[in-house]
Amino acid sequence: MKVAIIGAGYSGLTIAKELEENGQEVTIFEKNDYVGGMVDTVEICGTRLEKYYRHIFKSDREAIKLIKEMGLENELIWPATKMGYLTNKRAYLFGTPISLLKYKPLNLIQKLRFGFNVIHIKLINDYKKLEKVTAEKWLKDRIGDKVYSQVWEPLLISKFGEKKDQISMAWLWGKIKLRSTSSTPEGEQLGYIKGSYQRLTDRLYEYLVEKGVEIKLKTKIQSIEKLNEKYVIKYQNENEEKFDIVISTINYKDFVKIFDKFITEEEKKKLERVNYTSARTMMIVSDKSFSPFYWLNIGDNDIPFGGIIEHTNFIDKSNYDNNHILYISNYMTEDNKLYNASKEELLKEYMKFLTKINKEFTMENIKDYHVYDEKYAQPIIECNYSNYIMEDKLKNENIYLCTMPQIYPEDRGMNYAIRLGNKIANEVLEQIDKREKKNEN
Ligand SMILES: Cc1cc2nc3c(=O)[nH]c(=O)nc-3n(C[C@H](O)[C@H](O)[C@H](O)COP(=O)(O)OP(=O)(O)OC[C@H]3O[C@@H](n4cnc5c(N)ncnc54)[C@H](O)[C@@H]3O)c2cc1C
């Protein structure tokens, strides 16, 4: 069987690994000149560093398993991190029971309501009831408007912008469950590979090439034809190749354009119903630390970004020539005024607020900065998502899909890209097995 995979992110790389190990002939087509997709890194301060802040959780079993398989087990470290919450331009320690008790913006009753509600959410095992209602309604009914608008609403705004009131409670439930797996009394213990996740990507790439997987970089797929039960992929103008099975790991918006002729009306409706928010992430190299927190959630709605992630409060600054690395996280939709802002405009806008939060942090402290954009960064998970979640395979075709909106009720993440990749690869192997048995008979 010849299998084509479109996209060399962690989903595509995992599928290729599983299929190749089970005797299939695999070709990956990747539009970029590198593999790894969103787990991409750049050269900063003499080392590799992720374009987007990156960590894994203790419960990320599939990611940890892959790290072990690629021989990087001893390079995976689990530092404890501090989480903060910014309210009225003041940062408070957050995320542990003690820090909640000390959190001044809520009174005792509000703190108790918040704390018990989080415990309640963690104890819920079946998300099906939760997906019928928005996070906003479910939370307001239980903790009241004040606690909701003080704590949860800014977090939903930071991920979904103006779509925040459409988000299903099942999404937030998945997020809270996940984070609780890494909690310790000292803070969250998060996983990082010494020298960056680029090392994992490189090992995976070398492994696949050695096994015989063909990886065609700088090859953007724009259309696919079908001839005599084979899918014909044309690339780089002149070339074409035929495949028995195609697996797409790209976003639904582009998928619909490329695979239009193979999709039923019902499938199209499901695919088009899913929307995404985009990520515009600023990486700042500075000569000064901004705060004591790794992850500072922004609770003030007038601040135009969602979080300040100080990577060097997670991984020591000595790895970056003693510089401090900050990421300013921002998710938005196209109607946000900062969507098309230049990197300079973005910094100017952000600095108005950064200097208010930390008066000693000025433009002079910034040695370098970059902005990285991911258009389809976060699927928007609305109520009753299980009713319109896309199947893994197109009904009438040997075309599979393996991408973020199929991860549910958990949220997207490297671990889930790997888990879904393994699942899809196994479905493909089963189909091949059935076909072979049928041919034998
Ligand atoms: C800002 C940000 C921060 C994140 N932080 C974390 C984190 O800390 N921890 C964590 O676990 N996860 C994190 N994630 C999520 C994680 O990176 C993703 O869930 C995961 O990498 C998705 O992998 P994927 O293979 O499904 O998709 P992708 O990585 O997007 O791979 C898809 C690939 O398809 C290629 N492609 C697209 N169209 C075509 C085409 N027409 N032809 C050929 N190739 C094409 C793309 O170039 C890309 O390489 C973060 C994501 C973002 C945006």
Sheet strands (E) in 222-336: 224-227, 230-235, 239-243, 245-248, 276-286, 295-298, 307-310, 324-329, 331-332
CA nearest neighbour of 161 among 279, 52, 326, 54: 279
Cβ pair 343, 280 in contact under 8 A: no
The CA distances from residue 236 to 220, 223, 254, in Å, are: 8, 12, 18
Query: How many angstroms is it from 37 CA to the middle of ligand 1?
Result: 5
Distance of CA 116 from the midpoint of ligand 1 (Å): 35
> What span, in angstroms and rounded, lies between the C-alpha atoms of 149 and 259?
42
Most ligand 1 atoms within 8 A of CB, residue of 35, 38, 59, 62 to mutate: 38
Domains annotated on the chain, with CATH: 2-51+196-274+390-440 (3.50.50.60), 55-193+276-379 (3.90.660.10)
Do 205 and 9 touch, CB atoms closer than 8 A? no
Q: State residue 155 phi and psi, 5-degree precision.
A: -70, -40
Q: Quick one: tokens of 69?
A: 């398989």
Q: For 68-221, where are the E strands, in sequence order?
A: 76-77, 80-81, 83-87, 90-94, 183-184, 187-189, 192-193, 214-216
pLDDT of residue 438: 87
Q: Contact at 8 Å (CB) between 192 and 76?
A: yes
Taking the C-alpha atoms of residue 383 and residue 290, their distance in angstroms, rounded to an integer, is 38
Task: Specify the residue with its C-alpha closest to ligand 1, atom 48.
Answer: 37
> Would the CB of 401 count as within 6 Å of ligand 1?
no
Interior CA angle at 43 toward 41 and 45, to 5°? 130
- Please, where are the H alpha helices in 260-314? 265-273
Closest CA to 308 of 322, 325, 326, 287: 326
Ligand 1 centroid vs 4 CA: distance in angstroms?
18
Kindly list the averaged pLDDT for each block of 10 residues, start to end, along the chain of length 441: 97 98 97 98 97 95 97 97 93 90 93 94 92 97 94 90 91 86 77 98 98 97 95 89 98 98 97 96 98 95 95 98 98 93 98 97 98 97 94 97 95 96 98 90 81
Is any atom of ligand 1 closer than 6 Å to the C-beta of 281?
A: yes
Any atom of ligand 1 within 6 Å of the Cβ of 166: no
Pocket test for ligand 1, best of 18, 250, 276, 402 (most atoms within 8 A of CB): 250
Q: How far apart are CA 222 and CA 227, in angstroms?
A: 17
| pLDDT the model gives residue 250 | 98
CB of 311 within 6 A of ligand 1: the answer is no
The whole-number pLDDT of residue 182 equals 66
What is the position in ligand 1's atom list of the atom closest to the CA of 29? 43
Residue 265 corresponds to which tokens in the numbers above? 């009306």
